[in-house]
Structure 1
Amino acid sequence: MDYRPTKKFKKTLLGSGAVVVLAGLNAPAVLSFAEEKYHAYKIAQPAYKARYGSWHTVDIPKEYRTNAIHAALLHTGKVLIIAGSGNDQKKFDEGSFDTVLWNPADDSFKLVPTPEDFFCAGHSQLPDGRLLVAGGTARYEVLGDKVMRAGGGMRVKNESPDKPMTFKKGTRFHSPSGGTYVSKFDVTVPKAKRESEITYAKNGRMMPWRTKVVAAEARVFVEAVKEGLQGVTKKAAQYEIEGLKGDDAANAYGIAQEITMEKQDFQGIKAAYEFDPRAEKYVPVDPMKEARWYPTLVTLQDGKVLAVSGLDDVGAILPGDNEYYNPRTKKWSKAPFRYFPTYPALFLTKGGKLFYSGSNAGYGPAEKGRLPGIWDLATNTFKKVGGLTDLDQTETSASLVLPPAQDQRVMILGGGGVGESDKATGRTAIIDLKEDSPAFRDGPQLPQGTRYLNSVIMPDDSVFTSGGSSDYRGRGASNILKAQFYDPKRNEFRAAAEPRVGRNYHSEALLLPDGRVVTFGSDSLFGDKSNTKLGKFEQRMEIYTPPYLYRDKSLRPALGQGPRELGPQNRATYKTAHPERIARARLMRPSAVTHNTDVEQRSIELALTKGKGEVTVEVPGDKSLVPPGWYMLFVTDVEGTPSEAKWLHVE
């Protein structure tokens, strides 16, 4: 439906003498002004909102504005916004790290002390409602033309089986050729292991023969003391550690394969914390075995969390060293070895296997780890799936498990070329994992090629997508001020109201318990179309109110008194004044999103029984379909109008 201003409005807008004079002086400016006024008039009309929804910007007090890098919805209804150093080298150097807790119910904010630089960490919802946050930034990247000192990874060896050895930041390593290199971080090397060698005795039985010592090692990044090319070495060598004497000097040493003047990438940390939504603070747990920057964390059916990929403590992408976190013991253990590029989109499927859609956020070679497939953790086998077009443009794409999760269909939307490529695709594709030989099939095209698209599952089983850019990090003023809904049943898009704030790299979007969607962040590389001005991080938050919230409020479904813990037989009963208005029930896992990657969100269809003044929902017992944790329970009417969510804990 088109909307036209009234004659009175037209006269006010275009008929005054002042406007006529201005038009003669600057016709394009007047036309733009008129178009903006008309657009503002149009989107404010009730009929427009009922069809397309509306946007508004949240008023954030200055002291709470931050660079939103991560966002997670907590079961208290509040949203945890994590910046860490927020891609700001100055804040990193100062050790100034930010976390803001926002309450959508009253738009109140709270600063949370942040113990580590969680910039580009991973996060996952735990069974008890805490949020696991692991990894982050140990060191910012140094681009090739800014590298003044040669640097690289040093493996520090310890051959002593009697004690671990700790070397503080600033420890010096001397090469055989006379070069000196300084460690940039503290490093602790475990004590060496004693192992018994076995040999065959003459009688054919295996007997212990002798004990050997296997050296322990740890990595640390080192830089040359002197600037320039003289610190470069391409030869593997053993390095003496300054200050050690006697047995320590004999037992401890460094080994480096090469030290170069090449670009030095971001480096990860091992730190892990649980954020407690009740106490509203970070609680330290055991660190990971590996340092990680840009990792994916995904909750499994047994409540454990799998940490995958990332850049390590010397800035190299991990070759496949993955690990499990056990929330009961707060400990990490080794997981199956498999390589993925950073922030891979991994989804838990029925039966406990993980599906990799091909979506990722960047680091890693173009020819490795980009193909989608099904990963069986039990056997550590990976079965590739076909059918996906534009395979060279899965980086910065969006992926999600389509609602309801029982259908086991995964969708990928948009994406771009590897690294700073200007490629962007409007391709969408869907795979049905229930098929004997699942393969992607093309879905409807996006309006244009889009990177960094944010996609949110809605209570009415639609998928809301918004923002993104058509070039790398919004280059060339390429932010896309568009939004749309995808209808899984009709396999088509329909338009939504246009956002006013552009979103690209480092942006997020998530569903709120009241049925609205909030969007955060954006980190444009440049601030103008000609790419001559540096961009600024977008600190405004914008909330989208869907069309279903502009329907008759008196008819909106509502859930009253009911349990917060799932009862026997996986059932829960809630009071409601009008059970006859309720058509469907959905259990929706809260988001934990960063870099357009949200492997947490999913919507599960529930069996629904109506009684007198009440409804009962039944939750599937399959933990691979419904991992343990807190969920939002929505009920909807036949038109898809949702209630406000009730929080329900599933063990």
Structure 2
Amino acid sequence: MSESFFQPTLRTKRLAIGSTVFLAFTGMNAPAAVGFAQEKYHQYVISQPEYKRQYGSWSTLNIPEEFQVNAIHATLLNDGKVLIIAGSGNEKDNFKAGTFKTLLWDPVANTYKLIKTPADMFCSGHVSLADGRVLVAGGTLRYEVLKGDVTKAGGTMQVRNEDPNRPRKVPKGTVFVSPSGDEYVTNDDLTVPAASKVTKMVKNKLGVKAPKTVVVTAQQAVFVEARAKGKDKAVRKMTQFRVKGLTGNSGETLYGMAKAINFNKQDYQGIKAAYEFDPNTEMYVKVESMQYARWYPTLVQLADNKIMTVSGLDDTGYILGGQNETYDPKTRTWSPAATHYFPTYPALFLTADQKLFYSGSNGGYGPPTKGRVPGIWDYKKNTFTVVPGLRDANTRETSPSVLLPPAQDQKVMVLGGGKPGESKVSTAHTDIVDLSAQDPKFTAGPDLPAGGTRYLSAVIMPDDTVFTTGGSADYRGKHGSDILKAQTYHPSTNTFTRAADPTVGRDYHSEALLLPDGRVVTFGSNPLFGDKNDTLPPTFEKRIEIYTPAYLYQGGKRPEVTGGTTQTTRGASARFTTPDASKIATVRLMRPSSVTHVTDVQQRSIALNFTKTATGITTDIPKNPALVPSGWYMLFVTDKQGVPSVARWVHVK
């Protein structure tokens, strides 16, 4: 925090004068001593009670080495623990070794537990279910290989089945042989459906139409790689391949077709697997796999508790063309959903009228000119209504979006972002849309105080503000561009105010979320390089940093919720006991975060009407399931100074 944001007392003014004299003396003799003294003075300033009352403070938690993981995904569970998923953690050696990790952290007891992780959930999608379980879907089948590093020809093959009597299983490792004898190996299991029979009216030789049954070939795509190295293994025209070892009718009806097996860049590939994490058993449970493999998908809960799952790179490395699907937690099965194209990790928010709003924020994969325009998706009718006014719509990759508090206002804010790919261009613009308006459109919000920022984290707070922190000006922190700044956005005044500066840089693969005690925790960071000159290899940031907001330094006793409802239903009244009823100003239900790649479509804060009683408060839970999706919530009460209680967990059905 620069000193201009701190109003010194008489005591600190005197200290500053003394420090200036000391710095002047040491500056003539030892420049290193100057920096040391300045840092000491800075540490003194930020430790002062009056500073903390205005800006808050940060503390760093160093995790024991045996529990350190690359935090790619983070979800706050309904028992207050944090599920931190790494999978292979963007480490190829871990991927090759099958070393996949998940850490369960208890912030209260400060304990850690490694969870057995059955698949590479790196870059998966996830969301909390209505009963508190966490659905994790997709992940990594194969790491990318850059064009210059590709040593074996690879590409997509369509495996075709002409047999109408049976589907055909094609196990991982199946070998397809070209007419010249070159062999290509599949990288995943797939099942090709049986061919279908269609009856058509066809003219015979006499010109008379008669029914004729035609077999329509079924096909599924799979990535294949040449067994041997060599430029001569590339395929540049449509070629048919036989399955090695299959003969007779089996070999004639099952075969491969491909026209582009080459040495181009081979992108990341997704998996179809899905799991539920159970907070009670602290274990993953495998559920039915998705129909489509997904890497970088978004999962969002609908009003009927089903989970809409969209986008992602498939198991051949191509972005899906709009093949979305829903998960039913009751049956643990997947079903096809309305088709609409989104870039990867799109920010989708469930609106009060049971539609999905796409803000324009996304994870980046996909054509730079496709799917970047915000709009309201009526997934029941499969219509998409463009919402105009978003500035720099092509500069919103790696930007966060937030359903501003309270959720009843139906306002969404987009903050910063960057141009597609590895561009150094980022934007400081924020834009806000009121979805309750008759014709919603974005209007300009205040610029980010730190300037152009991508990978910014944004967290809804119990006092109806939004805390933002971290990010970088350039792609993945290039040129030492991490931004060690934090600020608080106030929806009531449409302004930012300064917060204490973090000490740990956070860019790609970083997360932030609200804890039940009202603090904010930040994880991860995966810069492209390890120095400002972009010459040293990077180090994944494993430290956890915790922000204690200014509202926890206001002095006096913070309000308490000492008892009351733990289970309730929409439309019902809920009662809570508190000795502080007379000073309570607001009551909020806050959905815990499930965040990755600064995409957090789950967090929302719902204002509750309440009345005060002799022993506590009585609240009304809104009836609308699209405003209050079923699930576990943190109930916070705040006093007239905006100081929140420690949250009480409430299950809304």
Q: Secondary structure at the match of 2:480?
A: coil
Contact kept, 8 Å, 1:484 with 1:495, in 2: the verdict is yes
Tell me the equivalent position of 1:410: 412
Tell me the equivalent position of 2:147: 144
Amino acid at match of 1:119: F
Alpha-carbon distance, 1:363 to partner = 0.4
Tell me the equivalent position of 1:420: 422
Tell me the equivalent position of 1:283: 285
Alignment partner of 1:581 out of 580, 583, 586: 583
Q: Distance in 2 between matches of 1:208 and 1:485?
A: 74
Q: Secondary structure at the match of 2:294?
A: coil
Q: Distance in 2 between matches of 1:642 and 1:93?
A: 46
Alpha-carbon distance, 1:226 to partner = 2.6
Alpha-carbon distance, 1:217 to partner = 2.4
- 1:519-539 deviations in Å (ceiling 9; x for gaps): 000000011111001111000
Amino acid at match of 1:219: A
- 1:269-306 deviations in Å (ceiling 9; x for gaps): 00000110111110110000000000000110100001
Alpha-carbon distance, 1:154 to partner = 1.1
Alignment partner of 2:333 out of 327, 331, 334: 331
Alpha-carbon distance, 1:637 to partner = 1.1
- 1:207-241 deviations in Å (ceiling 9; x for gaps): 99455443332222111223232122221222111
Contact kept, 8 Å, 1:197 with 1:208, in 2: the verdict is no
Q: Distance in 1 between matches of 2:180 and 2:313?
A: 30
Give yes or no for the alignment of 1:187 onto 2:190.
yes
Alpha-carbon distance, 1:177 to partner = 4.3
Change (3 A) 1:2 1:385: same
Please give the residue correspondences for 1:227-306 in structure 2 after superposition, counting only pairs within 5 Å: 227-306=229-308
Contact kept, 8 Å, 2:569 with 2:621, in 1: the verdict is no
Tell me the equivalent position of 1:128: 131
- 1:102-123 deviations in Å (ceiling 9; x for gaps): 0111111111000000000000
Give yes or no for the alignment of 1:509 onto 2:507.
no
Structure 1 length as normaliser, TM-score?
0.95
* Structure 1 range deviating more: 321-330 or 253-262: 253-262
Contact kept, 8 Å, 2:321 with 2:341, in 1: the verdict is yes
Give yes or no for the alignment of 1:56 onto 2:59.
yes
Amino acid at match of 1:156: V
Q: Distance in 2 between matches of 1:59 and 1:33?
A: 23
Amino acid at match of 1:442: A
- 1:107-165 deviations in Å (ceiling 9; x for gaps): 11111000000000000111111110000000000001101111101111222233333
Q: Secondary structure at the match of 1:475?
A: helix
Q: Distance in 2 between matches of 1:377 and 1:567?
A: 26
- 1:381-407 deviations in Å (ceiling 9; x for gaps): 111111111122110111010000110
> Structure 1 stretches of 5 or more lacking a match?
202-206
Give yes or no for the alignment of 1:498 onto 2:501.
yes
Please give the residue correspondences for 1:2-401 in structure 2 after superposition, counting only pairs within 5 Å: 2-3=7-8, 6=12, 9=15, 23-27=27-31, 29-193=32-196, 195-197=197-199, 199=201, 209=211, 211-401=213-403
- 1:77-97 deviations in Å (ceiling 9; x for gaps): 100000000000000000000
Amino acid at match of 2:509: H
Amino acid at match of 1:534: P
Amino acid at match of 2:458: S
Contact kept, 8 Å, 2:587 with 2:635, in 1: the verdict is yes
What RMSD over aligned residues (CA atoms) do the two structures have, in Å? 1.9
Give yes or no for the alignment of 1:527 onto 2:540.
no
Contact kept, 8 Å, 2:429 with 2:447, in 1: the verdict is yes
Q: Secondary structure at the match of 2:535?
A: coil
Amino acid at match of 1:144: K
Give yes or no for the alignment of 1:459 onto 2:462.
yes
- 1:252-272 deviations in Å (ceiling 9; x for gaps): 101113112110000000000
Tell me the equivalent position of 1:430: 432
Alpha-carbon distance, 1:190 to partner = 3.2
Q: Distance in 1 between matches of 2:555 and 2:614?
A: 23
Q: Distance in 2 between matches of 1:515 and 1:540?
A: 20
Q: Distance in 1 between matches of 2:76 and 2:239?
A: 49
Q: Distance in 2 between matches of 1:115 and 1:98?
A: 9
Contact kept, 8 Å, 1:557 with 1:643, in 2: the verdict is yes
Give yes or no for the alignment of 1:479 onto 2:482.
yes
Structure 1 vs Structure 2: percent identity of aligned residues? 55
Tell me the equivalent position of 2:3: none
Q: Distance in 1 between matches of 2:383 and 2:492?
A: 33
* Structure 1 range deviating more: 566-575 or 533-542: 566-575
- 1:358-395 deviations in Å (ceiling 9; x for gaps): 00011011110001111111111111111111122110
Amino acid at match of 1:2: Q
- 1:18-71 deviations in Å (ceiling 9; x for gaps): x888644542x3322222111100110011001100000113111111100000
Amino acid at match of 2:553: Y
Contact kept, 8 Å, 2:570 with 2:652, in 1: the verdict is no
Change (3 A) 1:6 1:565: closer
Contact kept, 8 Å, 1:196 with 1:208, in 2: the verdict is no
Q: Distance in 1 between matches of 2:309 and 2:503?
A: 36
Alpha-carbon distance, 1:191 to partner = 3.1
Amino acid at match of 2:49: P
Tell me the equivalent position of 2:206: none
- 1:150-206 deviations in Å (ceiling 9; x for gaps): 11011112222333333333322122344321212233323334x3525599xxxxx
Change (3 A) 1:550 1:22: closer
Q: Secondary structure at the match of 2:443?
A: strand
Contact kept, 8 Å, 2:570 with 2:625, in 1: the verdict is no
Q: Secondary structure at the match of 1:247?
A: helix
Alpha-carbon distance, 1:584 to partner = 1.0
Amino acid at match of 2:266: Q
Change (3 A) 1:187 1:436: same
Q: Secondary structure at the match of 2:601?
A: coil
Give yes or no for the alignment of 1:539 onto 2:533.
no
Contact kept, 8 Å, 1:14 with 1:34, in 2: the verdict is no
Q: Distance in 2 between matches of 1:307 and 1:485?
A: 31
Amino acid at match of 1:3: P
Contact kept, 8 Å, 1:266 with 1:311, in 2: the verdict is yes
- 1:464-521 deviations in Å (ceiling 9; x for gaps): 0000000000000000000000000100000000000000000000011111000000
Contact kept, 8 Å, 1:196 with 1:209, in 2: the verdict is no
Amino acid at match of 2:292: E
Change (3 A) 1:249 1:562: same
Alpha-carbon distance, 1:542 to partner = 0.4
Structure 2 length as normaliser, TM-score?
0.95
Alpha-carbon distance, 1:567 to partner = 5.1
Q: Distance in 2 between matches of 1:567 and 1:388?
A: 37
Q: Secondary structure at the match of 2:158?
A: strand
Alpha-carbon distance, 1:619 to partner = 1.0
Amino acid at match of 1:291: A
Q: Secondary structure at the match of 2:563?
A: coil
Contact kept, 8 Å, 2:570 with 2:622, in 1: the verdict is no
Contact kept, 8 Å, 1:456 with 1:510, in 2: the verdict is yes
Q: Distance in 2 between matches of 1:32 and 1:190?
A: 69
> Structure 2 stretches of 5 or more lacking a match?
1-5, 204-208
Q: Secondary structure at the match of 1:145?
A: helix
Alpha-carbon distance, 1:609 to partner = 1.2
Q: Distance in 2 between matches of 1:245 and 1:152?
A: 25
